[in-house]
């Protein structure tokens, strides 16, 4: 049980980066531009790759939600409350790291 929770806490920030939303959209757009330059992608290729990335992000979000639901189903009510706190702390930490990264990139 502890190993599962630890694995979820470690993997969640990585999954968050792939989740749909403004940051995921910006990353996807940036990476697609990078690939376009490096690989000289045609417009149809760009559209197909963009759709592949979008589908992947949606699948990852669905998987993350499913995993959280399954974990929550195993936990007691008190453990679920504690897990919610852990998730919120992880989210706050992720936001802090994101902000630090933005500031670092502005300073360059």
- pLDDT at residue 9 in the model: 45
Task: Report pLDDT digits (tens) over 13-67.
Answer: 444 444 445 667 888 999 999 999 999 999 999 999 999 999 999 999 999 999 9
Reported confidence tier of residue 2, pLDDT bands at 50, 70, 90: low
- Residues 6 or more apart in contact with residue 65 via CB below 8 angstroms: none
Task: Report pLDDT digits (tens) over 58-80.
Answer: 999 999 999 999 999 999 999 99
How long is the chain? 108
Question: How many whole angstroms separate alpha carbon 54 and alpha carbon 25?
Answer: 9
Q: What is the 3-state secondary structure (H, E, C) of 9-77?
A: HHHHHHHHHHCCCHHHHHHHHHHHHHHHHHHCCCHHHHHHHHHHHHHHHHHHHHHHHHHHHHHHHHCCH
Q: What is the pTM of this model?
A: 0.61
């Amino acid at each position: 049980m502890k190993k599962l929770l630890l694995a979820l806490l470690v993997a969640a920030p990585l999954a968050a980066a792939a989740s749909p939303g403004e940051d995921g959209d910006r990353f996807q757009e940036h990476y697609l531009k990078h690939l376009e330059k490096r690989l000289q992608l045609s417009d149809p290729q760009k559209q197909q790759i963009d759709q592949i990335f979008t589908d992947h992000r949606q699948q990852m979000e669905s998987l993350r939600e499913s995993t959280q639901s399954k974990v929550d189903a195993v936990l007691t009510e008190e453990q679920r409350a504690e897990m919610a706190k852990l998730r919120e702390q992880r989210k706050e930490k992720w936001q802090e790291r994101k902000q630090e990264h933005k500031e670092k990139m502005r300073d360059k």
